[in-house]
Amino acid sequence: MYGSLTFPRPCVPPSGYPAHPRSLGEHLRKRRLDLGLFQNQVANQLGVDEMTVVYWEKARIKPSVRQLPKLVTFLGYVPFECPPDPLGRLRYCKLIHGLSYGDLARALGTDDSVVTGWLAWKHRPSPRSVERIDAFLRTKALPAPPAQPTADSWCGDP
């Protein structure tokens, strides 16, 4: 009787696997595939419908500000860098915490239109406003962005 030879299956990622994601949609797709989840399962976890996840992955639509914190939690990291300048850090804080212009305005003691103007680069904040922005950002304890996964982490049945 002859023994049977078995060979391990090679670890081949599925077609369209984003080994080095650049966009938020590619980060989402990579994480979903790494976890072996279907789009409807991710949709259930994030509280959206399946087509929303499909469109995010294909960059047809962008998530709303309120949805970004759930996406960051699902990914396990923030897929974009925190800029060093105060307005860039304020915009970053707005995104990762899902804050509206109104939320920021109330926290900074100013009007929505002022914050909107700052973040749209229509006008610059005064030195006093920059101090308030810095004080606000210190309370948010913005994390340094963790290193994004660089190695291909997918290894499962295609």
Among 158, 157, 109, smallest CA distance to 135 is for 109
Each residue's pLDDT tens digit, 72-107: 999 999 998 889 999 999 999 998 888 899 999 999
Q: What is the mean pLDDT of the chain?
A: 85
Q: Residue 28 domain-assigned?
A: yes
Q: Residue 3 domain-assigned?
A: no
Say yes or no to pLDDT of 49 above 60. Answer: yes
Residues 136, 94 share a domain: yes
Structural domain that includes position 36: 24-75
Each residue's pLDDT tens digit, 100-144: 999 999 999 999 999 999 999 999 999 999 999 999 998 876 554
Residues 92, 70 share a domain: no
Q: Is the dihedral of CA 9, 10, 14, 15 positive or negative?
A: negative
- The band of 8, judged by pLDDT with boundaries at 50, 70 and 90, is low
